Amino acid sequence: MELLSPREAAALALSLLDLTNLRDDCDNAAIEKLCAKAQTPYGNAAAICIWPRFVAYARSILGPDHAVRIATVVNFPSGDLPVATVIDETKKAVEDGADEIDLVIPYRKLLAGDDASVTEMVEAVRAACPNSCLKVILETGELKDAGIIRRASELAIASGADFIKTSTGKVAVNATLEAADIMLQAIQNSKKRVGFKPAGGISTVADADLYLRLAQTIMQPNWIMPSTFRFGASSLLDDILGVLSGNATLRASGGY
């Protein structure tokens, strides 16, 4: 990948950012602030990522067909809900105005050897939101083993994922370059147009640039764009704006 200047990396990261508030204390006022923060003097974030209960309110703020997309989470963060419940969550979110669904796989069942549970969940949610972008969260920090992360990636891709995503941001270990490498290789090997989303713990432009470089090394030139790459983060925006404005900024608390 051609070396990007800090400003170039910051501008690219902004365009790829799913600006996130999945905090337990989130409320309508926080959603209003998030929608405003996603629209910066330097361009918009790709999306906001919020709890399902706030989707309708966010849509009322942003209006229809806004450039900032609305993503929400289902089967989150445990990955343990029944398929029927997750289908209901998904359909309600889409009715409320969600553009994108971030689904946690039943990763504990996968760790126990139940590959079919992942396929069943992803296929069911894919069918429940046929016109939405489906990002499938593997929870790689809990899977840990490279072979299992690779298998989770392959199962999600085969079952209809538009993106595979590292993490919920709710466990001890979230996005890592090691997991990203495995997931990006799985995408490349699939020969499908599937995107990648590292999430959790990416708080600086320098951090983000490492993932951008890795993706560009593995994938084709010019592969990185909002339809194929996202960052799940909150405090990253403060560093992006600090770099773009030339001013140091205070870090926001994490969006997870």
Mean pLDDT by 10 residues, the chain (256 residues): 87 98 98 98 98 98 97 98 98 98 98 98 98 98 98 98 98 98 98 98 96 95 95 96 81 60
pLDDT of res. 152? 98
Catalytic residues: 102, 165, 197
Q: Which CATH number fits domain 6-245: 3.30.450.20, 3.40.309.10, 3.20.20.70, 3.40.50.1010?
A: 3.20.20.70
Boundaries of every domain in the chain: 6-245
Print burial letters for 87-108: b (CB count within 10 Å at least 16), e (below 16).
bebbebbbebbbbbbbbbbbbe
pLDDT of res. 247? 83
pLDDT of res. 221? 80
Beta strands in 75-218 (DSSP E): 100-104, 133-137, 163-165, 195-197
Residue tagged 């209003």 (tokens): 32
pLDDT of res. 254? 63
166: left (phi over 0), alpha (psi -120 to 50) or beta: alpha
Helices (H), 97-176: 107-111, 115-128, 140-143, 146-158
pLDDT of res. 248? 55
Q: Which amino acid is at 48?
A: I
CA nearest 197: which of 146, 233, 159?
A: 233
From the number of C-beta atoms within 10 Å of its C-beta (0-12, 13-18, 19+), residue 29 rates as exposed
pLDDT of res. 250? 47
pLDDT of res. 28? 98
